Amino acid sequence: MNDVKALVAEEILQPVHPQVSAMAEALAALYGPAARAVLFYGSCLREDQLDGLMLDFYVLVSDYRAAYAKSWLALANRLIPPNVFPFAHNGLAAKYAVLSEADFAALNRPEAKTVSVWARFAQPTRLVWSADAAARDRTLDAVAQAAPTAFALAQPVANSADPIEIWRAAFTRTYQCELRAERTARPDAIVEADLARYQRFGAAVHLSTTLTRPAAERRWAKLRRRGKWMSVLRLAKASLTFAGGIDYLAWKINRHAGTAIVLTPWQRRHPLLAALVLVPRLIRQGAVR
């Protein structure tokens, strides 16, 4: 674990584009004293040109009640984490998720009931802003749990002991646990983007899980069932918290699945109903998996 933590520390503290730093500081300012850390992740991490892209952040807070003026937002964040919101700063667009420090740590561990957090943070990320050294250290500890969690669950179901093949299995399985618009080649592309990185992390994890393949398959089956339902619930919640969320959903599906969804005025007026009708249709068509 110490080897993994050292790799995460080296990776997570690398500098980012000045516009990303400015956006992270602005996001932290939204939550005042409740803000503890801001993480930047996703495909935009590899991009030098950010105009026209949707950046991805996680904002970690001390406590949901302290983070929100509206109690229903705090309740929604606790019951169906995370809350997701749009954000714009200095001409750039982003979406960001909010989690408490405690929930972020728990959702990176092997006992987490969904893959949504550890699957993302087993991939490269940057700690762009932290309130203090304690917040930085807690965030680092939490992120350092993600890669071992992914590796331990994927190792029994991979068809090879090669670390790269285990990572491929990990991301293939996690993509099956959520409603995703990306094509099936996307999990391979994540690994191919930085083979040396995943070799290093695979070597650093160096675990031999006691989980048998049948037990691992049962675990993945539970994660798939819960993950699909949680994806639908988060989508429904986002229609209340994410202004223009239905437009973002259509944009992302069109971008990743090659579809040409054009929203009607009725769908924009009733985003929750539109999403609940649109998503099952796209699943049947294979645009969303």
On the question of pLDDT at 256 being above 60, the answer is: no
- CA separation for the pair 216, 165 (Å, rounded): 16
Nearest to 32 by CA among 63, 72, 70: 63
- CA separation for the pair 179, 172 (Å, rounded): 13
Per-residue confidence band for 265, with pLDDT thresholds at 50, 70 and 90: confident
What superfamily in CATH does domain 2-236 come from?
Answer: Beta Polymerase, domain 2 (3.30.460.10)
Mean local confidence (pLDDT), 115-119:
96
> What pLDDT score does 228 carry?
80
On the question of pLDDT at 105 being above 60, the answer is: yes
- CA separation for the pair 165, 179 (Å, rounded): 23
> What pLDDT score does 54 carry?
86
Per-residue confidence band for 255, with pLDDT thresholds at 50, 70 and 90: low
Per-residue confidence band for 34, with pLDDT thresholds at 50, 70 and 90: very high
> What pLDDT score does 275 carry?
63
Residue 45 host element (H or E): none
> What pLDDT score does 210 carry?
77
Mean of per-residue pLDDT scores for the chain: 86
Least confident of 2-11, 98-107, 127-136: 2-11
Per-residue confidence band for 237, with pLDDT thresholds at 50, 70 and 90: confident
Q: Residue 199: which residues within 8 A CB-CB, separation 6 or more?
A: 163, 164
Question: Mind listing the pLDDT tens digit for each residue in 188-204?
Answer: 889 999 999 999 999 99
Which amino acid would we find at residue 70?
A: K
User: Angle at which helices 163-175 and 195-205 pack, to 10 degrees?
Assistant: 100
Q: Residue 168: which residues within 8 A CB-CB, separation 6 or more?
A: 158, 187, 188, 191
Question: Mind listing the pLDDT tens digit for each residue in 167-179?
Answer: 999 999 999 888 6
Provide the whole-model pTM: 0.85
Phi-psi region of 286 (alpha: psi -120 to 50; beta: other; left: phi over 0): left
Q: Domain residues of the chain, as ranges?
A: 2-236, 244-285
Least confident of 28-42, 142-156, 241-255: 241-255
> What pLDDT score does 187 carry?
78
- CA separation for the pair 58, 15 (Å, rounded): 17
Mean local confidence (pLDDT), 196-219:
89
Strand order in the sheet with 92-100: 83-89, 92-100, 54-61, 35-41, 125-130
- CA separation for the pair 232, 9 (Å, rounded): 34
Residue 289 host element (H or E): none
Most confident of 201-210, 231-240, 259-268: 201-210
On the question of pLDDT at 207 being above 80, the answer is: no
Percent of the chain with pLDDT over 90: 63
Nearest to 118 by CA among 181, 173, 164, 194: 173
> What pLDDT score does 45 carry?
87
CB count within 10 Å of CB 228 equals: 16
Per-residue confidence band for 230, with pLDDT thresholds at 50, 70 and 90: confident
